[in-house]
Structure 1
Amino acid sequence: METMDTTSYPTLPRLNEPAPDFEADTTFGRVRLSDYRGKWVVMYSHPADFTPVCTTEFMGFAARKPEFDALNVQLLGLSIDSIFSHIAWVNAISEKFGQVTPFPIIADLDMHVSRLYGMIHPKAATTQAVRALFIIDPEGILRLMIYYPMTTGRNIDEIIRVVKALQTADQYHVNTGANWQPNDPVIVSPPRTMDELAARKKDSTLNIKDWYFSTKTLQ
Structure 2
Amino acid sequence: MALTIGDTAPDFEAETSAGKISFHDWIGDSWAVLFSHPRDFTPVCTTELGYMAAINGEFEKRGVKPIAISVDPLDNHEKWFDDIEETQGSRPTFPLISDTDFNVAKAYGMLPADVAGDPTDRTPAQNATLRNVFVIGPDKKIKLVLIYPMTTGRNFDEVLRVIDSLQLTAKHAVATPAQWQQGEDVIIAGSVNAEAAKEKYPDGWKEPKPYIRIVPAP
Fold shared per TM-score above 0.5: yes
1:110-162: CA deviations, max 9, x gaps?
1111111111279x942455210000001111111000001000011101101
The match for 1:19 is 9
Q: Tell me the amino acid that sits aligned with residue 163 of structure 1.
A: I
TM-score, normalised to structure 2's length? 0.87
Computed over aligned residues only, the root mean square deviation of the Cα atoms, in angstroms, reads: 2.1
Structure-2 change in CA distance of 1:172 and 1:82 (3 Å) = same
| Cα distance in 2, alignment partners of residues 204 and 59 from structure 1 | 46
How many residue pairs end up in the alignment? Answer: 205
2:205 matched to 1:214? no
Write the mapping of 1:16-165 to structure 2, written as runs, cut at 5 A: 16-35=6-25, 36-120=27-111, 125-127=125-127, 129-165=129-165
| Cα distance in 1, alignment partners of residues 32 and 134 from structure 2 | 8
1:166-199: CA deviations, max 9, x gaps?
001011121111111111111112367xxx3467
Structure-2 change in CA distance of 1:204 and 1:92 (3 Å) = same
Identity of aligned residues (%): 36
Aligned partners of 2:77 and 2:96 also within 8 Å:
yes
| Cα distance in 1, alignment partners of residues 187 and 6 from structure 2 | 20
Write the mapping of 1:168-187 to structure 2, written as runs, cut at 5 A: 168-187=168-187
- Residue 90 of structure 1 and its aligned partner are, at CA, apart by 0.4
Structure 1, 88-97 or 151-160: larger mean CA deviation: 88-97
Aligned partners of 1:190 and 1:211 also within 8 Å:
no
| Cα distance in 2, alignment partners of residues 134 and 191 from structure 1 | 26
Aligned partners of 1:40 and 1:73 also within 8 Å:
yes
Aligned partners of 1:12 and 1:116 also within 8 Å:
no
| Cα distance in 2, alignment partners of residues 145 and 176 from structure 1 | 18
Q: Tell me the amino acid that sits aligned with residue 130 of structure 1.
A: L
| Cα distance in 2, alignment partners of residues 197 and 218 from structure 1 | 18
Aligned partners of 1:191 and 1:197 also within 8 Å:
no
| Cα distance in 1, alignment partners of residues 196 and 127 from structure 2 | 57
